[in-house]
Amino acid sequence: MGMAALGLAVMAVLASLTVIGIPFAILIGLAAAICGLIGRGRVKRGETDEGGPALAGLIVGTTVAVVCLGLTAWFVNGLSHLHDRPEDLVSKGAKYGGTPLAAGQTARYRDGLRVTVGKARRVPNLPGDVALGKDELTYEFAVTYVNDQKKSVRLASNGIDMEQKVLPGNLTPAGPMSPTFDRKNPWFPDDLAPHQKVTVKLHVNVPPGSTDLDFTCSPTDYRDDAHWVLSLR
């Protein structure tokens, strides 16, 4: 059994040299290890003197099987992530089929970009708001970007690609539009530098009786949209 173990171990090594042969190398390596164990048992019982080949077959066969199993697991894992994109969401909050995030929760992307939307709070109507409707109320909420990676990120046109719906009624708010406020308050940059954090305050005008703001945004083009529902009560 010692020579058989050694022979199988050599075959396992040769099989492992090709991609196609790796699955066979696992089986042959395991067979070599089993034969080596049996051979070592016979040596201890004095039935054979092939202790050296049996030990070599056991060690080499086990090593080949373990290495090939690791390579196979790595390959399968790589295939499972073949279509992953840096712009994919890796947290809750996907726009389609996911659970919306609540105020204060963070959407995380695979490339290290993070977006947090804060609580909506009632504020006075913005000065010079030309889009303010009769009896409409103004709410303010903060959107924070964090670029947790070593390279810059080019933001979407105007810094954010967003969609807002006021509930109930699924209404699209028309404002606010306040040049006076915009001139005095910071906005998103064109690019987010490595490890840069930016917070911008957004506003929305809603009719009386509104309960929630359905807010969807993407910080860059071709990125998964993240989805929040902010309470207006």
- Look at residues 233, 178, 179 and name the one whose alpha carbon lies nearest to residue 206: 233
> pTM surpassing 0.85?
no
Q: What is the rounded CA–CA span in Å between residue 110 and residue 233?
A: 33
Q: What is the pLDDT of residues 202-211, one digit of tens each?
A: 999 999 999 9
Torsion of CA 12, 18, 24, 29, to 10 degrees: 20
Q: How confident is the model at residue 9 (pLDDT cuts 50, 70, 90)?
A: confident
Q: Which residue has the higher pLDDT, 98 or 110?
A: 110
Q: What is the pLDDT of residues 157-184, one digit of tens each?
A: 899 999 999 999 999 998 899 998 988 8
230's enclosing H/E stretch is strand 226-231
- The backbone torsions φ and ψ at residue 205, rounded to the nearest 5 degrees and listed phi first, read -100, 130
Q: What is the rounded CA–CA span in Å between residue 8 and residue 181?
A: 79
Q: What is the rounded CA–CA span in Å between residue 198 and residue 152?
A: 13
Q: How confident is the model at residue 79 (pLDDT cuts 50, 70, 90)?
A: low
Q: What is the rounded CA–CA span in Å between residue 180 and residue 185?
A: 9
pLDDT at 82: 46
Q: How confident is the model at residue 80 (pLDDT cuts 50, 70, 90)?
A: low
- Look at residues 208, 120, 129 and name the one whose alpha carbon lies nearest to residue 174: 129
Residue type, 231: S
Q: What is the pLDDT of residues 125-152, one digit of tens each?
A: 999 999 999 999 999 999 999 999 999 9
